[in-house]
Chain A
Amino acid sequence: MIQSIDYAAIAPPLIVAVAAIALLLADAFGASRRVLGLVSLGAVGAALVTVIALALGDRRATFCLTGDLRGNGPPSCSYVTDDFTLIFQGVVLAAALVVVLLSLEEITAAGARLPAGEFHFLLLAAIAGALTLVAARDLVLLVVALETLSLPVFALVALRRYDGVASEAALKLFLVSVISTAVMLFGISLLYGVTGAMHLDRVAPALGRVPGDLEPVAAVGVVMVLAGFAFKVAAVPFHFWAPDVYQGAPLPVTAFLSVVSKAAGFAGLTIVVALGLPAYGHVWGPVLGVLAAVTMTLGNLVALRQRSAIRLLAWSSIAQSGYMLAPLAVGDERLPEAVAATVAYVAIYSVMNIGAFAVVIGFRRRAGAPAAGPAPSWDTLDDYRGLARRNPATAAAMAFFLICLAGLPPGVMGLFAKIVVFRATVAGGATWLAVVMAVNTVIALYYYLAWAARLFAAPSGAAEPPRMPRGAAVRAAIGAAAAGAVVLSVAPQLVLQAAAAIT
């Protein structure tokens, strides 16, 4: 009657969750900020090591239905560590490691106004949610993990209390998020009503034999479930929280939202559509196709006229969501290839985007902008003029990240990611979407390259940003992201083959 638990399989989220609680208690009993940061860093690192160890060993599954409940059906495990899970857990943890590094100074700095213990507790809780989300294979666990990922993030965004902008950003994020959760839950209830199952390996066959009069119900359920995930990945029309929240939140939290949270959201979306709803590919395929096209077009067009670095990154990451959605538009036709393309793009996007955020955060710190304040004084693109003269290494890293995001050589990994997505989209028969994507890639070139060019332009002269002592943690974060980007540009097959092997 009692489910046996495979503790090795759930080790990554377990380590992070236990560390989160330990941090909360340590903070309550007065541990220093530095200790808290190091524990947080160590927990994420340890979880990353366990993920690598799991990847080398057997594939595991746990929380399976016990014999008498299972009947003659499939094994129905709620938590599965297969290749898909491990890739995403690796991506989430690697990005989280960079986020923790980036936050170390913002939190530990003397006079920092963010509470350290709560920040690290909430961050680790959200990471634990993300790790569980990518391993979830039944709808209940999926919902609970999604909420475990979302709820701490609301608090993280609002953590800078008495700052109107942060609270307002948190309110926007919160309202949009709970509404989309409610819509998604209603969709899940319809799917459950039609199929009578919560485990995806039972939902999928049951959806294949839905009686004719219930088909519209199932279709409505599918679309409502998609809406919930569309919010999480900031796809148009559920995108409008993103730029405001990115601007209002503390910057490490912004990096978390745009990389970890988004990667986990895509993992959840892929799990649901590929494992649970393949029978309704004719419904969600076109929906996702239209979402992808609108998302990338609007994201790029609005990004063109942004003057602030953070908002530009926000809109560009909305546009990038469109590219990631595009392969899934093929529906159930050549689905494995599409899933592999999405996984590869998400993994590569995470590396280059977290790198860009690391530089922006480092720049803000170096330029001496106040950690709080409604109008960041060193955040416009023009402030980046002449960065190459003052900090050649940082400028080179930033230029490389931007070129990767644009998808030009020598940023080979961005280029390959785009090619993989193109190929999957065309192979699945959604040629129109590939055309839209090509046009968008050209539009995006403009603003990425304009920013990269500013790095090497002559300084504007009048307002030279003051030099501030730089922290080792931020430099380590930029260095790690840059190293990852270079390695993946030299050998993009590392990710592409791993992604292709998952199906």
Chain B
Amino acid sequence: MSPGHYLVLSALLFTIGGVGVLVRRNAIVVFMCVELMLNATNLAFVSFARMHGNLDGQLIAFFVMVVAAAEVVVGLAIIMTIFRTRRSSSVDDANLLKY
């Protein structure tokens, strides 16, 4: 099993996440797609670390995990406040601010 396979998987996951971000309309689902992108990044980091035989990639993967968790908490809290005032979590309904 060469690192190449993992990289292909990582690129696929990243693309799925990216497409999901663009086409889905529910803020929570958009958010899950972002998490998918971040995890794809982690997979890439770890496989590159394996390829190069140094630990920098694994190190940043830890930080990405923690950053992602912090983002989850802040993001869900924001979605929560929106839901409380609006009873909807669709990004299309967020329309108070216009050009």
Identify A143's interface contact among B63, B74, B99, CB under 8 A.
B63
Q: Knowing A143-B63, A147-B67, A178-B34, say if A243 contacts B91 (CB, 8 Å).
A: no
Chain B residues within 8 Å of A197, by CB: 56
A149 to chain B minimum Cβ distance, whole angstroms, is 12
Report B's interface with A, CB cutoff 8 A. 7, 10, 14, 17, 21, 27, 30-31, 34, 37-38, 40-41, 44-45, 48, 51-52, 54, 56-57, 59-60, 63-64, 67, 70-71, 74-75, 77-79, 81-82, 84-86, 91, 94, 96-97, 99
Q: How far is the CA of A179 from the CA of B35 in the complex (A)?
A: 9
Which of A179, A185, A244 touches B97 (beta carbons < 8 Å)? A244
Taken together as a complex, chains A and B put the C-alpha atoms of A183 and B54 apart, in Å, by 23
Least distance between B68 CB and chain A CB atoms (Å): 9
Q: Which A residues are closer than 8 A to B by beta carbons?
A: 139-140, 143-144, 147, 151, 154-155, 158, 161-165, 167-172, 174-175, 178-179, 181-183, 185-186, 188-190, 192-193, 196-198, 243-244, 247-248, 302, 374
A168 surroundings in chain B (CB, below 8 A): 82, 94, 96-97
Q: Do B48 and A154 touch (CB < 8 A)? A: no
The 9 closest A-B pairs by CB, nearest first: A196-B52, A182-B37, A244-B97, A193-B48, A189-B44, A198-B56, A185-B41, A167-B81, A167-B82
A residues near B52, Cβ cutoff 8 Å: 192-193, 196
B64 partner residues in chain A, CB cutoff 8 A:
143, 185
Residues of A within 8 A of B10 (CB): 189
Residues of A contacting B: mostly: helix
Docked-complex contact A174 and B78, CB < 8 angstroms: yes
Which residues of A sit under 8 angstroms from B71, Cβ to Cβ?
A: 147, 151, 174, 178, 181
Tally of A-B Cβ pairs under 8 angstroms: 126
Contact B74–A154 (Cβ < 8 Å):
yes
CB contacts (< 8 Å) of A179 on chain B: these are 21, 34, 37
Contacts of B48 in A (CB 8 A): 189, 192-193, 196
Q: Is the CB of A165 within 8 A of B41?
A: no
Contact A171–B91 (Cβ < 8 Å)? yes
Complex A-B: 25 CB contacts under 8 Å = A140-B56, A140-B63, A154-B74, A162-B85, A168-B94, A171-B27, A171-B78, A174-B71, A175-B34, A178-B31, A179-B37, A183-B37, A185-B41, A186-B14, A186-B44, A189-B10, A189-B41, A189-B48, A189-B57, A193-B7, A193-B44, A193-B51, A196-B48, A196-B56, A198-B56
Q: Considering the chains assembled together, what is the distance between the CA atoms of A183 and B37 in angstroms? A: 8
* CA gap between A181 and B42 in the complex, in Å: 13
Q: Is the CB of A158 within 8 A of B81?
A: yes
Given contacts A189-B48, A193-B44, contact A167 B56 (CB under 8 A): no
Check if A192 sits within 8 Å of B78, measured CB to CB. Answer: no
Closest partner residue, chain A, to B39 (CB atom): A182
A140 adjacent to B59 (CB under 8 Å): yes
Q: Please pick, from A172, A185, A196, A248, the residue contacting B38 in the complex, using a CB distance under 8 A.
A: A185
Do A189 and B74 have beta carbons less than 8 Å apart? no
**Using Cβ atoms and an 8 Å threshold, which residues of chain B touch A164?**
82, 85-86, 96
**Cα–Cα, bound, A243→B97 (Å):** 9
Residues of A within 8 A of B57 (CB): 189, 192
